[in-house]
Amino acid sequence: MKKTEHIAKLVFMLCALTAVAALFVIIFFIFSRGLPAIFEAGIGNFLGGQVWRPLNREFGIFSFIFTSIVTTAVAFVVGSRIGLWGAIYLAMFCPKRIYRPVKTMVELLGGIPSVLYGFFGVVVIVPLIRNTFDVPGNSMLAAMIILSIMILPTIINLSEAAIRAVPDIYYEGALALGATKTEAVFNVVVPAAKSGVNASYILGIGRAIGETMAVIMVIGNSPHMPSGVLSPARTMTAAIALEMSYATGLHQNMLFGIGVVLFTIVIALNLILTIRRR
């Protein structure tokens, strides 16, 4: 019996180490190709340059970084508010007779392939922007709207689970002290679920900043610095996806360099939100 438990423990440990090893292999693969290219082009020119012309050996990605961060930030601000309030409704206010249908719809929203979100953006959101503002339509605004929708299932599901995990005594104690239901939920239960809610935010940001296909279909993919949210632009993930198939030599290595920057930004955002969870 002890031998079986020892073998099972070893198998579980190997599974965990496999995930860790995969992470380090990915890091090594990206950084070993990307960092030398960044140093060759010059860190300042690479991160601060606004001109991306690989044929002329000009590799400035500031516009890509700016577009990725701004698009993700706006989508997160909108999606996180809607997602948290949706989670609060499902966990604390939703009638039992409609809970299952609503919950099922949220789960289905999370299972839709990103390319279908892109189709929705091309058919509905882009024409709506075009007709409303008299602009081409493919823009940062279209990407922001799509991304804010795409992160909803992640934030709603995880936040709801975190809210339901709060012991009932917190809610009941607040009611016993004279708080209304709304006051008990927003002033006691939700703050107690802060750690789980912030975890949903981390995953939501990761989904938004790492999304590629849907963004490519609606953002316009212009390598130039956008003049506003109604302008076409290009994110870091879009730049990699669009050019990796034909890039060679230094151009290809520079795309790995974009991957280094993207990975660093994601890690930094995760660290910031992880610290806030404590």
Specify the pLDDT at position 278.
61
Number of domains making up the chain: 1
Cβ atoms of 45 and 59 closer than 8 Å: yes
Domain at 20, CATH number: 1.10.3720.10
pLDDT score of 151 more than 70: yes
Cβ atoms of 215 and 146 closer than 8 Å: yes
Per-residue pLDDT tens for 224-245?
999 999 999 999 999 999 999 8
Give me the domain span that covers residue 179. 2-277
User: CB neighbours (10 Å) of residue 156?
Assistant: 29
pTM over 0.75: yes
Per-residue pLDDT tens for 3-41?
788 888 888 899 889 988 998 999 999 999 999 999 998
